Amino acid sequence: MHAQVGIIGAGPAGLMLARLLQLNGISCVVLESRSQAYVESRVRAGLLEQGSVDLMTQTGLDARMRREWMVHDGTEYIAGGQRAHVDMWDLIQRRIYIYGQQEVVKDMIAVNTAAGVPVLFEAEAREIGGLDTDRPWIRYLHRGMEQTLTCDFIAGCDGFHGIARPAIPDAIRRDYVRDYPFGWLGILADAPPTLPELIYCQNEERGFALFTMRSPKVSRCYLQVPPYEDEANWSDDRIWHELSLRLGKHEGIALSTGTITQKSVTPMRSFVSEPMRHGRLFLAGDAAHIVPPTGAKGMNLAISDVYVLSRALTEFYKTGATTRFDSYTGTCLRRVWGAQHFSWWMTSMMHNLPDESAFDRKRQLAELRAVLGSRAGRTFLAENYAGLPLEM
């Protein structure tokens, strides 16, 4: 089998790239190691930046999203017992949108399939090669048979543990890693959101908490915990009690509780791999970078990567030019490192560090007050939270 572009991974990056290519008359095949049911049910990110929403609208992926999303003009912050509101619409005339990643993936699969794009599930990519030739290939296992997909280019959208990134030789590749000394205990609960907007809490004594949502009837909440905490140690009653303590008492806020349907602990990490291109192989999304979820950038970075890549591929097939190929890594990394900085900044500003001193705690609180108490500070936060341009 041959396609102009072979895409490994049917997450938001791979599926958005497939849609963009199909709209520009470029053939592709998407290989996904998991089943369709698994891909459509895994709970991941749930916040879309303005640029991501605009691109989904332009590519016809927005019909169900517009019926079901939750549109937010701002976010709430609680620190040092004080409450502040960052009104993104007032500050920068942009918004954020709550729509679960699994829902985004469902929509992308449906639209791609209807358009005739081959999306092969339970097709495990096992080896790639020919990256320095004009006919790279992917060997994959599908329905018990080993098969080979030849293509002009390969897009590695297969996540942190995929095979694409390791295909870049060690002598060329450089990885940048920061592991954080805490994780997030995340829950899904059948409970209305505590507020119509997200609440970021920095409790000086107990640590970070985040109150968000997946729908008007489903809450998604997080607690800062040690990085390898066992979720079995956290009963439902303990979780709700701790969320209540970290939230504190504030006029107009009442913690919404309900049946917890899912809980898990995720370690926190910042990661970037450079370069994002080697020969005919291009990395996108989690295959190239991971951000701590404090800044809500993961899915949005994946979408911006493939937007840049699709423009490079379109330019090549229409004109033969390789200018955008040559600048792919630099273009993507400007946005990636900007998002890394913002995510690190939000993480370090909102979490308690195990080895920090009393001075560090007071300095952290002063930083939060300085940011939230200044229109300039709130504007910087709003610009980054609502999302930088897809291509910088």
Q: Binning pLDDT at 50, 70 and 90, where does residue 354 land?
A: confident
- How many Å apart are CA 1 and CA 190, to the nearest integer? 45
The number of angstroms, rounded, from the C-alpha of 7 to the middle of its chain's C-alpha atoms is: 18
Does any domain span residue 279?
Answer: yes
Q: Domain check: are 244 and 286 in the same one?
A: no
Percent of the chain with pLDDT over 70: 100
Number of domains, the chain = 2
- What pLDDT score does 391 carry? 86
| 217 a catalytic residue | no
Q: Domain check: are 18 and 148 in the same one?
A: yes
Does any domain span residue 106?
Answer: yes
Quick one: average pLDDT of 194-204? 95
Candidates 193, 278, 293, 328; catalytic one: 293
Q: Are 200 and 76 in contact (CB under 8 A)?
A: yes
Q: pLDDT, tens digit, for every residue of 201-215?
A: 999 899 999 999 999
- Residue 44 reports pLDDT greater than 80: no
Q: pLDDT, tens digit, for every residue of 113-134?
A: 999 999 999 999 999 999 999 9
Candidates 278, 289, 297, 351; catalytic one: 297
Element housing 74 (H / E) = strand 74-79
| 200 a catalytic residue | yes
Q: Domain check: are 238 and 360 in the same one?
A: yes
3-class SS at 349? helix
- Residue 1 reports pLDDT greater than 90: no
| 297 a catalytic residue | yes
- What pLDDT score does 80 carry? 86
Q: Are 316 and 322 in contact (CB under 8 A)?
A: yes
The domain of 344 spans 2-72+96-177+269-350
Q: Domain check: are 375 and 320 in the same one?
A: no
Candidates 97, 99, 200, 328; catalytic one: 200
Does any domain span residue 197?
Answer: yes
Q: pLDDT, tens digit, for every residue of 130-153?
A: 999 999 999 999 988 999 999 999
- What pLDDT score does 42 carry? 82
Q: Domain check: are 20 and 54 in the same one?
A: yes
Quick one: average pLDDT of 181-197? 96
Candidates 97, 140, 317, 385; catalytic one: 385
- Residue 23 reports pLDDT greater than 90: yes
Q: What is the pTM of this model?
A: 0.95
**Domain CATH code at residue 251:** 3.30.9.10
Does any domain span residue 88?
Answer: no
| 293 a catalytic residue | yes
| 222 a catalytic residue | no
Does any domain span residue 335?
Answer: yes
Q: Domain check: are 142 and 192 in the same one?
A: no
Q: Binning pLDDT at 50, 70 and 90, where does residue 301 land?
A: very high
**Domain CATH code at residue 322:** 3.50.50.60
Q: Domain check: are 36 and 164 in the same one?
A: yes
